[in-house]
Amino acid sequence: MYGTVSSNGCMAQCRVMVLENMVDAASVDNELEDEVADECGKFGCVERVTISTQQQREVDSYEQPTETSNDDVKIFVEFSLQSGN
Protein backbone atom coordinates (compact mmCIF):
# COMPACT_ATOMS: atom_id res chain seq x y z
CA MET A 1 0.00 0.00 0.00
CA TYR A 2 1.56 3.29 1.04
CA GLY A 3 3.15 4.54 4.19
CA THR A 4 5.93 6.39 5.85
CA VAL A 5 8.68 5.41 8.25
CA SER A 6 8.33 7.09 11.63
CA SER A 7 11.20 8.13 13.87
CA ASN A 8 11.08 4.77 15.68
CA GLY A 9 11.45 2.90 12.38
CA CYS A 10 7.87 1.60 12.22
CA MET A 11 5.79 1.79 9.09
CA ALA A 12 2.60 3.85 9.44
CA GLN A 13 -0.24 4.44 7.01
CA CYS A 14 -0.57 7.90 5.57
CA ARG A 15 -3.23 9.49 3.46
CA VAL A 16 -1.29 12.07 1.45
CA MET A 17 1.54 11.58 -1.00
CA VAL A 18 3.50 14.57 -2.36
CA LEU A 19 4.82 14.37 -5.92
CA GLU A 20 7.68 16.72 -6.79
CA ASN A 21 9.85 17.19 -9.90
CA MET A 22 7.09 15.70 -12.04
CA VAL A 23 6.22 18.71 -14.23
CA ASP A 24 7.24 22.32 -14.52
CA ALA A 25 4.84 25.21 -13.96
CA ALA A 26 4.33 25.69 -17.71
CA SER A 27 3.05 22.09 -18.00
CA VAL A 28 0.26 22.53 -15.44
CA ASP A 29 -3.06 22.43 -17.28
CA ASN A 30 -6.68 21.48 -16.68
CA GLU A 31 -6.02 17.81 -17.51
CA LEU A 32 -3.10 17.24 -15.12
CA GLU A 33 -5.27 16.70 -12.05
CA ASP A 34 -7.32 13.98 -13.77
CA GLU A 35 -4.20 12.33 -15.24
CA VAL A 36 -2.55 12.14 -11.80
CA ALA A 37 -5.75 10.81 -10.20
CA ASP A 38 -6.06 8.10 -12.87
CA GLU A 39 -2.45 6.95 -12.49
CA CYS A 40 -2.45 7.06 -8.68
CA GLY A 41 -5.80 5.28 -8.66
CA LYS A 42 -3.90 2.13 -9.64
CA PHE A 43 -2.45 2.09 -6.10
CA GLY A 44 -5.50 2.97 -4.02
CA CYS A 45 -8.68 4.99 -3.86
CA VAL A 46 -7.82 8.63 -4.61
CA GLU A 47 -10.05 11.12 -2.81
CA ARG A 48 -8.47 14.35 -4.04
CA VAL A 49 -5.57 15.76 -6.07
CA THR A 50 -4.30 19.27 -5.31
CA ILE A 51 -1.71 21.00 -7.48
CA SER A 52 0.32 23.80 -5.91
CA THR A 53 2.77 26.00 -7.79
CA GLN A 54 5.53 28.16 -6.33
CA GLN A 55 3.70 31.23 -7.64
CA GLN A 56 0.62 30.33 -5.60
CA ARG A 57 2.71 29.76 -2.47
CA GLU A 58 4.49 33.10 -2.95
CA VAL A 59 1.17 34.95 -3.15
CA ASP A 60 -0.09 33.14 -0.06
CA SER A 61 3.05 33.89 1.96
CA TYR A 62 4.08 37.22 0.39
CA GLU A 63 7.46 35.86 -0.69
CA GLN A 64 9.50 37.34 -3.51
CA PRO A 65 8.99 35.59 -6.89
CA THR A 66 11.71 33.21 -8.05
CA GLU A 67 12.57 31.62 -11.37
CA THR A 68 10.41 28.61 -12.19
CA SER A 69 11.68 25.04 -12.27
CA ASN A 70 10.33 21.53 -11.67
CA ASP A 71 10.73 22.20 -7.94
CA ASP A 72 8.01 24.84 -8.21
CA VAL A 73 5.14 22.35 -8.65
CA LYS A 74 3.97 20.08 -5.86
CA ILE A 75 1.13 17.64 -6.41
CA PHE A 76 -0.66 16.39 -3.31
CA VAL A 77 -2.58 13.12 -3.68
CA GLU A 78 -4.97 12.24 -0.88
CA PHE A 79 -5.90 8.56 -0.62
CA SER A 80 -8.77 6.97 1.24
CA LEU A 81 -7.66 4.69 4.08
CA GLN A 82 -10.15 2.12 2.82
CA SER A 83 -8.76 -0.35 0.33
CA GLY A 84 -9.41 0.74 -3.22
CA ASN A 85 -8.55 -2.44 -5.10
Q: In terms of residue numbers, what domain contains 66?
A: 15-79
Residue 85 is assigned to a structural domain of this protein: no
pLDDT of residue 14: 73
Q: Which of 40, 25, 42, 38 is nearest to 78 (CA)?
A: 40
Residue 20 is assigned to a structural domain of this protein: yes
Q: pTM of the full predicted structure?
A: 0.66
Residue 8 is assigned to a structural domain of this protein: no
Residue 8 has pLDDT above 90, yes or no: no
The total number of structural domains in the chain stands at 1
Residue 20 has pLDDT above 60, yes or no: yes
Residue 6 is assigned to a structural domain of this protein: no
Residue 12 has pLDDT above 70, yes or no: no
Residue 71 is assigned to a structural domain of this protein: yes
CATH number of the CATH domain containing 43: 3.30.70.330
Residue 28 is assigned to a structural domain of this protein: yes
